[in-house]
Chains A and B, each alone.
Chain A
């Protein structure tokens, strides 16, 4: 059975399916012929050395990169190029490898603005303070405050995000991604640059997000300990190719993965990219 048929068969059950996806930059194949299916409610880790194509994969799924070949299935619909503008409406949220917060907004507003896309009131209704607009806004602020509470950010709700530590900013970005209750959450190295304590805390948060929102999570992470403990399945990328895909135990035992990644002391620092 070809990979295409497999994808087609599970497409309506999968939270995310990627079908023979290829992407190149000039001569560099960032992704070549990737097939990947993510089941609803699973935490799926994506690992691989720097430059393996992990961020590119998430960027294609969120529509920031347009693939050369292949399709992306989201919530039962297939896209040659995912429309970024409709991502939130499709129930997809993401964080970025490098901080992507709105530094001129407070912590609360950074999170609350993640609910703007669902508003029905127009700008005039907001300026005039019509009842519908006020209700929407109050509900959004309440929801955002609850999410801040969840992430232990309540004490900082009125601070400008630029004044916060790196680890806290990463958490605010996660809160912004979660606030609209996404069905699929794409996390690009959410723990990079964090202390051990912060990593442990964030691991708990990610698990809690999955349990409370019944969300599907795709997690790019370098810390193998975190990955093995947190994820249901692990996909391994190397030079744009998928060289392993399975449970943490299976990945640990996979010779190709050991050769390419696990066995060797790779440079595990955070790479560049969006």
Chain B
């Protein structure tokens, strides 16, 4: 790309596409502006959970969107990541947290690999049911075996406070920035993966398994790789959930509802789209709050928490049906169409900025 820029004699920001420009702008805002203007509520209640769920959606999208293997066990892998990191932090306090983080991801990947084995034989609905087994089994293990939760009577574990390279991360904005950094780093790796030849292999396995086998793609190995990498990413999301967002861990927090939530993020955001995971997570996080405000404004006292919860489920269900029918490619496709419409308007502006 840069040699094209040299040939055309353009200076600065060589060959930056509108997409790259958009990502750079978003990163600049997320790292540079948001921390200055955001409130504690914004960080703790909106942005940090949004980022963590985006990452979980990204992990599931690798498996379901890119490789075509449906999973209902995402929150089990989040749980494995969360508990692994807690136990590493308690039992090997000398290890830096970043080592715990990566190790917890690797442990989640290993567990994901095991629960991915049925994918070698099962497809579609049957595979989904077998991942459900992972969901229930993992939750059961963390409930039953006290060792994992430090034998705490309530089953709730409070992870040690976040500390990176000796610096305690205690403020909401600090936790937000840490989460953002991890999410950006992991997303960059996933982006590299899906654009690599192995990324093409994932899609090949999804789109035509037989043809993939015939051209020499190791189908079984590719599926297991997808399970492992997906679980790694979801496991990292679990660590962030435990250490940066909730700051406590209990098996019930990683139940089937959470798995469905992550699946809905992927469906609403758009299958096989990295951006889709972020869009879907944004909707899932903002939507209940928006609905609560709206209900409050319209119905006042009648709109209690029970009604809220129920209406959330109903509206979310409707939303998913609407997306499946009207826009199976998700929010990501909607945004695509919108950017295509506005690109001619903003391109001159970007080009002018470069000169």
Residues of A within 8 A of B (CB): 62, 64, 84-89, 93-94, 96, 100-105, 109, 112-114, 116-119, 123, 126-129, 133, 136-137, 140, 176-177, 180, 274
Chain B proximity of A252: nearest CB distance (Å): 34
- Is there a chain A Cβ closer than 8 Å to B213's Cβ? yes
Give Cα A173 to B227, complex, Å.
Answer: 29
B293 partner residues in chain A, CB cutoff 8 A: none
Query: Is B2 among interface residues, defined by CB-CB distance under 8 A?
Result: no
**Interface of B with A (CB < 8 Å)?**
189, 192-193, 196-198, 200-201, 203-204, 206-208, 210-219, 225, 229, 272
Q: Select which of A101, A102, A123 is within 8 A of B196 by beta carbon.
A: A123
Most buried by B among A100, A109, A127, A136: A127
Query: In the complex, are the beta carbons of A129 and B216 less than 8 A apart?
Result: no
Q: Known interface pairs A84-B214, A94-B214, A137-B197. Does A102 touch B192 (Cβ–Cβ under 8 Å)?
A: no
Interface majority SS on B: helix, strand, loop or mixed? helix
CA of A102 to CA of B193, assembled, Å: 18
How far does the Cβ of A227 sit from chain B's closest Cβ, in whole Å? 24
Contacts between the two chains (Cβ within 8 Å), count: 94
Task: Determine if B225 and A104 form an interchain contact, defined as CB atoms under 8 angstroms apart.
Answer: no
Q: Is the CB of B206 within 8 A of A113?
A: no
- Interchain CB contact under 8 A, A113 and B189: no
Task: Compute how far the CA of A177 lies from the CA of B215 in the bound complex, rounded to whole angstroms.
Answer: 8
Q: Contacts of B210 on A, CB cut-off 8 Å? A: 64, 96, 100, 274
Query: Which B residues touch A117, using CB under 8 A?
Result: 215-217
CA distance A133 to B192 in the complex (A): 12
Q: How far, in whole Å, are A86 and B218 apart by their CA atoms in the complex?
A: 9
Give the CA-CA distance A28 to B189 in the complex, in Å.
Answer: 52
The reply to whether A127 and B207 contact each other, CB–CB distance below 8 Å, is: no
Q: Which residue of B lies closest to A186 (CB)?
A: B214
Q: Quick one: which of B197, B229, B272 contacts A116, CB cutoff 8 A?
A: B197
Which residues of A are found within 8 Å of B272, using beta-carbon distances?
Answer: 104
| Chain A residues positioned under 8 Å from B206 (CB to CB) | 102, 104
B214 is contacted by which of A88, A103, A109, A116 (Cβ under 8 Å)? Answer: A88
